[in-house]
A and B are shown apart, each in its own frame.
Chain A
Amino acid sequence: MSNRGANSSSALLQPSMQQRVGRVVLIAAALVFLAVFLLLPVAAVFTQAFSQGWAMYRDSIRQQDVLSALRLTGLVAVIAVPLNVLFGISASWAITRFEFHGKSLLITLIDVPLAVSPVVAGLMYVEVFGLHGWLGPWLSEHNLHIIFAVPGIVLATIFVTFPFVARELIPFMQAQGSDEEIAAVVLGANGWSVFWRVTLPNIKWALLYGTILAASRSIGEFGAVSVVSGHIRGLTTTLPLEVEMLYNEYNFTAAFAAASLLTLAAIVTLVLKKSIESATGVHQHGQEKESES
């Protein structure tokens, strides 16, 4: 790795015996910490899920309620993520390609959902769309249901995944600059062909990276969704909520079986993220990484 190269390049920084021991101790401490703190919880999920055998596991995840929770989780992600992708592209285009008043304020506001507690996020939508909220009376007059129904879950999920794509694209497009796009415009390309032929091919990996982060959070969101869902089995429970309900019913094996599906999704997320990072250089800092491996 580059850093070892950097260290050994200088005789002055050649590690002494003492430093070598220190290095081994630090690495060992980090590995033990990760094993206890991160790997054990993951191992516990699968052990508990399979504690009653494979047949029981299969039956648990094939339950009607788990399947409909899985469907709802998928549906919510399929609506929320593309909307946030659209927002991310539009926000990063405006922010990185133009100079305008209030730009830093806009960048700060995009980060707001990261700072807000998920429970508070859910409550915000109850305040707008709930029965006692601003639009509540009007909505109930027209027999429209947002809170304790699927639209509320979608809105809460959009809120918590709101910044992910934009935060990935803004620094990436800033670093890339707009020379190629300006050249395309000067050569007579219109806006759409600039976007499809120049911008999109350049940002595709960063865009995919942000999309994966948003999708992962959308699948796993619990607090915000829990406030607006109403926990109606088979109708408004996403998979994480189903895990909670099974757990609170002391149906531990089924809860962990459902949780194992979410854990698998998390592992897939990590693998995809890492692959994009090492294959494309997206989300890597410094130039040293370029020469890595």
Chain B
Amino acid sequence: MPETKRKKSWSLVTRSSPLPGFRVSIGFTLAYLTAIVLIPLAAILLHGSRLGWSVFLHTVTAPRVLASYRVTLGSAAVAALLSAAFGLLLAWVLARYSFPGKRIVDALVDLPFALPTAVAGISLTALYAESGWIGRYLEPHGIHVAFTPLGIVMAMSFVGFPFVVRSVQPVLEDLDPAMEEAAASLGANVWQRFTRVIAPVAFPALLTGTALAFARAAGEYGSVIFIAGNMPMRTEITALLIVTKLEEFDYTGAAAIASAMLALSFIIMLAVNLIQWRVQRREGKRV
């Protein structure tokens, strides 16, 4: 974003515009942002910090809480990797090939965004339960999905993989065929073209999509709680633990754990912004 640096008297606007409405629009935007996002966010972080460091640390590292991090982050990591693999496959197929029904497939990818999480949760549970359409073929082989960590991974992958597709697909579609032609004319085979030409461009997008899928999975609630079984120490996710604390009127405990989760969210957000910033800078250099 071009911003003029030298300014004699400070004003919010850095370049004057003939268009009207700056004060009204920025005023409403900031007021609304403050009321809806910033004040509630501050409320939870302040409550978390009012505890004092040692109490806070004690609350967020209690054994049951630690177990919930392990379940949540472990499942989210596996789900993010699965999302990356299948998301990349779908992005590739949608960007590179044409086949009958492609438009429907393209629209369907967004289904997990559109389908309410509670609906996804009960429906996945029905599918993977012992008598379910998929569960009945897995259970005889000793593969238990519903009410195990594997079920949590399935639900998290369901909500996560569209992020990967929607991050990678536009990059693959915008890739200039001339680059691949140049590589081919220089004798590069398919594999070399993929690893040397396509992968370097698509990798940052894949990383962004995977990070978004991980963030979504780590915070996911609705689709997970039905299939998880919610056994403390084994299949209890952190988001559910917050709800449990609230139901026990332990507002302080809930706020402390929520602060820890918020910290994680912000770290991921920062990482994604850093990736995008680096890509933009690199593209800026190329041009």
A87 to B35, CA, bound (A): 12
- Indicate whether A106 reaches chain B with its CB closer than 8 angstroms: yes
Contact A42 B111 (CB under 8 A): yes
Given contacts A83-B32, A101-B14, A104-B1, 8 further A-B contacts (CB under 8 A): A12-B184, A103-B1, A112-B269, A124-B43, A127-B44, A181-B19, A240-B118, A262-B119
Residues of A whose CB lies within 8 Å of any CB of B are 1, 3-4, 6-7, 9-10, 12-13, 19, 23, 26-27, 29-31, 33-34, 36-42, 44-45, 48, 83, 86-87, 90-91, 93-94, 97-101, 103-104, 106, 108-113, 115-121, 123-128, 130, 132-134, 155, 158-159, 162, 178, 181-182, 185-186, 190-191, 194-195, 213, 216, 219-223, 226-227, 240-241, 243-244, 247, 252, 255-256, 259, 262-263, 266-267, 269-271, 273-274, 278, 285-286, 288-289
A121 to B40, CA, bound (A): 8
A93 to B111, CA, bound (A): 30
If the complex has contacts A30-B93, A120-B219, A159-B40, are A115 and B265 also in contact, measured as CB distance less than 8 A? yes
Chain A residues whose CB sits within 8 angstroms of the CB of B97 once the complex forms: 3-4, 23, 26-27
- Indicate whether B80 reaches chain A with its CB closer than 8 angstroms: no
A-B contacts, 27 listed (Cβ < 8 Å): A1-B98, A3-B173, A6-B177, A26-B93, A41-B158, A42-B111, A42-B115, A44-B132, A99-B15, A104-B1, A109-B38, A116-B219, A116-B262, A117-B219, A119-B243, A120-B242, A127-B40, A132-B251, A134-B43, A178-B17, A213-B113, A220-B114, A240-B222, A256-B123, A266-B119, A271-B107, A273-B107
- Indicate whether B195 reaches chain A with its CB closer than 8 angstroms: no
Contact B117 A223 (CB under 8 A): yes
In the complex formed, the residue of A with least CB distance to B223 is A222
- Indicate whether B284 reaches chain A with its CB closer than 8 angstroms: no
Contact with A along B27-60 (1 / 0, CB 8 A): 0111011001111110110010000000000000
Please tell me which one of the listed residues B32, B96, B118, B269 contacts residue A243 in the complex, with CB atoms under 8 A apart: B118
Interface residues of B in 231-246 (CB under 8 A from A): 239-240, 242-243, 246
- Indicate whether B21 reaches chain A with its CB closer than 8 angstroms: yes
Shortest beta-carbon distance, A180 to chain B, in Å?
11
Shortest beta-carbon distance, A276 to chain B, in Å?
11
Q: Pick from B29, B185, B215 the residue with the most CB of A within 10 Å.
A: B29
In the complex formed, the residue of A with least CB distance to B12 is A100
In the complex formed, the residue of A with least CB distance to B117 is A222
In the complex formed, the residue of A with least CB distance to B239 is A119
Contact B119 A263 (CB under 8 A): yes
Looking at chain A's contact residues, the main secondary structure is: helix
Chain A residues whose CB sits within 8 angstroms of the CB of B95 once the complex forms: 3
Shortest beta-carbon distance, A32 to chain B, in Å?
11
Contact B28 A90 (CB under 8 A): yes
Chain A residues whose CB sits within 8 angstroms of the CB of B12 once the complex forms: 100-101
Chain B residues whose CB sits within 8 angstroms of the CB of A99 once the complex forms: 1-4, 13-15, 17
Shortest beta-carbon distance, A133 to chain B, in Å?
7
Q: Please choose the segment from B63-71, B142-150, B253-261 that sits at the chain A interface, where 4 or more of its residues have CB less than 8 A away.
A: B253-261
Number of interface residues of B (CB under 8 A): 103
Please tell me which one of the listed residues A98, A111, A278 contacts residue B22 in the complex, with CB atoms under 8 A apart: A98
Contact A222 B102 (CB under 8 A): no
A158 to B97, CA, bound (A): 39
Chain B residues whose CB sits within 8 angstroms of the CB of A29 once the complex forms: 89
Chain A residues whose CB sits within 8 angstroms of the CB of B254 once the complex forms: 123
Shortest beta-carbon distance, B9 to chain A, in Å?
13
Interface residues of B in 142-184 (CB under 8 A from A): 157-158, 161, 170, 173-174, 177, 180-181, 184
Contact A243 B119 (CB under 8 A): yes
Q: Pick from A27, A33, A127 the residue with the most CB of B within 10 Å.
A: A127
A42 to B114, CA, bound (A): 12
If the complex has contacts A6-B177, A162-B36, A285-B173, are A178 and B19 also in contact, measured as CB distance less than 8 A? yes
- Indicate whether B229 reaches chain A with its CB closer than 8 angstroms: no
In the complex formed, the residue of A with least CB distance to B219 is A117
Chain A residues whose CB sits within 8 angstroms of the CB of B119 once the complex forms: 45, 220, 240, 243, 259, 262-263, 266
Shortest beta-carbon distance, B56 to chain A, in Å?
15
A91 to B28, CA, bound (A): 8
- Indicate whether B192 reaches chain A with its CB closer than 8 angstroms: no
Contact A266 B26 (CB under 8 A): no
A91 to B132, CA, bound (A): 47
A42 to B20, CA, bound (A): 48
Please tell me which one of the listed residues A116, A213, A227, A273 contacts residue B265 in the complex, with CB atoms under 8 A apart: A116
